[in-house]
Amino acid sequence: MKKEFRIKKNKEFQTAFQKGHSFANRQFVVYSLKKEGQDFFRIGLSVSKKIGNAVTRNRIKRYVRQSILELHDQVVQGNDYVIIARKPTAEMDFFEVKKSLTHVLKVGKVLKRTNFTD
């Protein structure tokens, strides 16, 4: 993902936590914050040290980034999304991560409907 599509600053994360809407499943918590005048969406990732070592955390982040890249056209534009991984993601492979992330985005109604299903 390009740098302009990422949330990096702590202040931006805190704003999303305080003013955004959250939705979750067992594997992920997602905060969504509407940004006026923003034509694209941005993603912030948070994977705690409680989940595993650096290799595990980075693998989870790679899986989430790739899942978002594949779902890019279906995600509602103009929002900031902060995705927090929970402990069960440590044992998941890419396809499970993508399925779970798709599920939680559908729960939050930030995934546009398509003509085909998974």
pLDDT at 48 over 80: yes
pLDDT in tens, 50-59: 999 999 999 9
What is residue 115's predicted lDDT score, i.e. its pLDDT? Answer: 52
For the chain, give every domain's residue range. Answer: 3-107
pLDDT in tens, 2-46: 777 889 999 999 999 999 899 999 999 999 999 888 888 999 999
CATH number of this structure's domain 3-107: 3.30.230.10
What is residue 55's predicted lDDT score, i.e. its pLDDT? Answer: 95
Nearest to 18 by CA among 29, 5, 33: 33
Burial 100-109 (b: 16+ CB within 10 A, else e): bbbbbbeebe
Average pLDDT, the chain: 89
What is residue 1's predicted lDDT score, i.e. its pLDDT? Answer: 65
